[in-house]
Structure 1
Amino acid sequence: MEWKGRRQSDNIEDQRGASPGGGNPFGRGGGFRMPGGGGGMRRAGGGMSFGTIIFLVVLYFILKAMGIDMLQVLEGGGGQVQMPGFEQSDGSPAPRGSAQEEEMKQFMATVLAETEDTWNGIFQANGQQYEEPKMVLFRGQVRSACGFASAASGPFYCPGDRKVYLDMSFFDELAQKFDAAGDFAQAYVVAHEVGHHVQNLIGVLPKFNQMRQSMSETEANQMSVRVELQADCFAGVWGKYTQQKGLLEQGDLEEALNAATQIGDDTLQKRMQGYVVPESFNHGTSEQRMRWFKRGFDSGKMTACDTFSGAA
């Protein structure tokens, strides 16, 4: 995919250095409650020795030379202490990873920008306004409005805060464990999660979350498959617009289709347990995921993505 030198989205929240703290176990659609806590900092009783005072003064100036002002930290009521020199989307310091990870961050910001261009245009053509989602980059663990998540959860979209969450180590696993390497395979994953955001805006996700409260597990899984396949189709719609811009390189489409194949429910279950349990499918088979992505890609139209009418 030809992406270098193109616009990068400002809707990136870099939480790779943040501590997630406590929270409820992660669950899509679940709530998240901030843990209760005590009040502010207490002053210790008693005095300090002259030696202790000298030590603290020396420590203060050492930290000051490193760019950390402990007076500001104390006045801020115990906020995070971050090393200077790096920049987050909100202008505050953020940790840097390897050169490869930093390039991946730039790629993710570019892909997100391309989805913004696509969906802004589609919504405007239909007389609507597109609300751009945020993308949260994290390492290991993260808090969201849907609960507490780890890297094992994989990329996900949270309707509660309208954000896409991504631990970039997932793409190493995608390439090494699932044999789905390539930048457009990675772009497909992002576009799929943005597809869920589109579903949230047009009312598909709220309706599904309401309906599944009265469904059996099997029924909810069957409906979940249709929701996921529509997100695949929306990712294909984005892919069509990307192709029309001349950004696709030879083999890009095949990378996305291969990724859709490798993460189908049947393929994953065969790889992990040696057999399939169709009633437990909640994302769609490899054939379904590939077919619906291709349908969106071939048509470039949202109307081609009705996965709820007829057979999926």
Structure 2
Amino acid sequence: MDPDDTSTGRAGADHPEPASARGTRSRWLPVAIAVAAALLMLAAVVVVSDLAAGDGDTASDITPAADPSAPDSAATALRDSGAQLATVDCDPADLRQGRDAARAYYRDVLDCLDRAWRPVLDRMGVEHRPASVDVADVRTTECGELPPADRALGLYCDADHTIHLPYSRLATAVGGTDEPAFLATLAHEYGHHIQALTGVFTEAGNAMSDVGAAAESEVGRRFELQATCFAGLFLDAARDTGLGDPSRGPEVAVQDFADWSGVESHGGARLQQQWASTGFTGDSVAACDTWSARAADIGGAGERSGAPASP
């Protein structure tokens, strides 16, 4: 893993999918659902969540759909593996000293993510390929143009397994000292890395190409909410370690998902927090089977998004 090899982005509408996912450029899922991008829109990141405790469904309230729209084999194999993350001890660098410090912080947390997820990949017989993080303010990535800062703060590119997290974007949105926001974003994007390694990423793209716009958006939300649930699984695996102090650690990072936006693409703030909590309290990757969840647990246009902070 090269800690300096870091970038984030999302394919634009002018970057069509290749004929094969095994082409020279890996597939980006359709831009309409903002796949693989943590759409922490600036107006939504700096919000005061008005979600009351117990306002959303709990993990036990999430019930399977009668006719789930799921990628056929990869998502099912991942769910049925019952694999558990390893408990990891993380003591990352202090990110509060600017871009270089953030790069070191991400490098350390990536190491924790790799160690936590390795038992899952081993159980599935999947080759482990480390992800890298790019904090540079790049304009292009291996997956296409980086979207504007007001559209995305983070993005995973499956072409080179790079998580793009331009430091200036997140620091401007939440400040350079908000560790939970940095941690939640990285853990979510790493969730897309797990989806890519296990085949869910490709199968979700195939599913989207076979359905209409409304169903495409639903597949996208299931895809994004699973990545958020995966983030929750990791935050639980690291909760009793040196990953931040109690006021900045994993528990607070779970709550950070309540500030996420992107209703149509990511499910909205309530469901983001719901699925992060589901992962945080789950026993295995089976807890994150968003593909079999009922439509009410996936959301859509009727879901509430994050709102600007009150004056």
Q: Does TM, normalized by the shorter one, top 0.5?
A: yes
Measure, in 1, the Cα distance between the counterparts of 2:186 and 2:257: 12
> What does residue 105 of structure 1 align with?
103
> What does residue 143 of structure 1 align with?
140
Q: Could you give the per-residue CA deviations for residues 72-125 of structure 1, whole angstroms, max 9, x where no partner exists?
A: xxxxxxxxxxxxxxxxxxxxxxxxxx9522211211111111111111233234
1:234 paired to 2:230: yes
> What does residue 184 of structure 1 align with?
180
Query: Following TM superposition, by how much is the alpha carbon of 1:223 offset from its aligned partner in structure 2, in angstroms?
Result: 0.9
CA spacing shift, 1:230–1:27, aligned 2, 3 Å: farther
**Secondary structure of the structure 1 residue equivalent to 2:163:** strand
Measure, in 2, the Cα distance between the counterparts of 1:296 and 1:125: 19
> What does residue 253 of structure 2 align with?
256
Q: Is the CA contact 2:127–2:197 (under 8 Å) kept in the aligned structure 1?
A: no
Structure 1-normalised TM-score?
Answer: 0.61
Q: Is the CA contact 2:7–2:163 (under 8 Å) kept in the aligned structure 1?
A: no
- Higher RCO structure, 1 or 2 (CA under 8 Å, sep 6+): 2
> What does residue 159 of structure 1 align with?
158
Measure, in 2, the Cα distance between the counterparts of 1:33 and 1:26: 19
Q: Could you give the per-residue CA deviations for residues 143-169 of structure 1, whole angstroms, max 9, x where no partner exists?
A: 222211145232101122222111111
Task: Write the letter of the residue equivalent to 2:128.
Answer: Y
1:175 paired to 2:174: yes
CA spacing shift, 1:168–1:27, aligned 2, 3 Å: farther
> What does residue 302 of structure 1 align with?
285
Measure, in 2, the Cα distance between the counterparts of 1:116 and 1:29: 31
Task: Write the letter of the residue equivalent to 1:148.
Answer: E
**Secondary structure of the structure 1 residue equivalent to 2:266:** coil
Measure, in 2, the Cα distance between the counterparts of 1:263 and 1:169: 18
Query: Following TM superposition, by how much is the alpha carbon of 1:211 offset from its aligned partner in structure 2, in angstroms?
Result: 1.4
Structure 2-normalised TM-score?
Answer: 0.61
Query: Following TM superposition, by how much is the alpha carbon of 1:26 offset from its aligned partner in structure 2, in angstroms?
Result: 6.8
**Secondary structure of the structure 1 residue equivalent to 2:139:** strand
1:225 paired to 2:217: no
> What does residue 13 of structure 1 align with?
5
The partner residue of 2:266 within 257, 260, 283 is 283
**Secondary structure of the structure 2 residue equivalent to 1:201:** helix
Query: Following TM superposition, by how much is the alpha carbon of 1:135 offset from its aligned partner in structure 2, in angstroms?
Result: 1.7
Measure, in 1, the Cα distance between the counterparts of 2:281 and 2:14: 34
Taking only the aligned residue pairs, the percentage that are identical comes to 22
> What does residue 59 of structure 1 align with?
none
Measure, in 2, the Cα distance between the counterparts of 1:201 and 1:15: 18
> What does residue 60 of structure 1 align with?
none
**Secondary structure of the structure 2 residue equivalent to 1:282:** helix
**If you compute each CA radius of gyration, which structure gives the higher value, 1 or 2?**
1
Query: Following TM superposition, by how much is the alpha carbon of 1:257 offset from its aligned partner in structure 2, in angstroms?
Result: 3.2
Q: How many residue pairs end up in the alignment?
A: 216
CA spacing shift, 1:256–1:27, aligned 2, 3 Å: farther
CA spacing shift, 1:99–1:172, aligned 2, 3 Å: closer
**Secondary structure of the structure 2 residue equivalent to 1:247:** coil
Query: Following TM superposition, by how much is the alpha carbon of 1:181 offset from its aligned partner in structure 2, in angstroms?
Result: 6.6
Measure, in 2, the Cα distance between the counterparts of 1:196 and 1:28: 20
The partner residue of 1:124 within 122, 125, 135 is 122
Query: Following TM superposition, by how much is the alpha carbon of 1:307 offset from its aligned partner in structure 2, in angstroms?
Result: 0.3
Structure 1: which 5+ runs fail to align?
A: 1-8, 17-23, 35-97, 267-280
Show structure 1 runs of 4+ deviating over 6 A. Answer: 26-29, 31-34
1:245 paired to 2:241: yes
> What does residue 66 of structure 1 align with?
none
CA spacing shift, 1:135–1:27, aligned 2, 3 Å: farther
Task: Write the letter of the residue equivalent to 1:218.
Answer: A
Measure, in 2, the Cα distance between the counterparts of 1:25 and 1:246: 39
1:196 paired to 2:192: yes
CA spacing shift, 1:175–1:181, aligned 2, 3 Å: farther
> What does residue 28 of structure 2 align with?
none
**Secondary structure of the structure 1 residue equivalent to 2:287:** helix
Structure 2: which 5+ runs fail to align?
A: 26-95, 298-311
RMSD (Å), alpha carbons: 3.0
Q: Is the CA contact 1:261–1:286 (under 8 Å) kept in the aligned structure 2?
A: yes
Query: Following TM superposition, by how much is the alpha carbon of 1:14 offset from its aligned partner in structure 2, in angstroms?
Result: 5.3
Q: Could you give the per-residue CA deviations for residues 240-282 of structure 1, whole angstroms, max 9, x where no partner exists?
A: 111143535223345323421111335xxxxxxxxxxxxxx11
Query: Following TM superposition, by how much is the alpha carbon of 1:304 offset from its aligned partner in structure 2, in angstroms?
Result: 0.8
Measure, in 2, the Cα distance between the counterparts of 1:238 and 1:307: 17
**Secondary structure of the structure 2 residue equivalent to 1:138:** coil
